[in-house]
Amino acid sequence: MALSKYEYSMELLAAMACKTIAEQKKIPQIKAFDSFIKSKTANMLFDERTAFWCNGPDYIADEYNREMESRVR
């Protein structure tokens, strides 16, 4: 099954955001991906209706970090 241009963009942005998260937290990329993919941020990214995929990977990583910080409080 071929990915739509939107799905391809979403997956690429997720991978790039996870790379940023891994670098920031000094953790393996697979661990960052595992945590990210279970997050509300990832749900927003993969929902075409939100147009969250229009943002860059750094913004997505920052949104994920804000989500994780709010869970700690």
Going from N- to C-terminal start, the domains of the chain cover 10-72
Residues shown for the chain? 73
With cut-offs at 50, 70 and 90, classify the pLDDT of residue 11: very high
Q: Are 21 and 61 in contact (CB under 8 A)?
A: yes
Tens of pLDDT along 37-48? 999 999 999 998
- Return mean pLDDT, the chain: 94
- pTM summary value: 0.90
CA separation for the pair 37, 73 (Å, rounded): 21
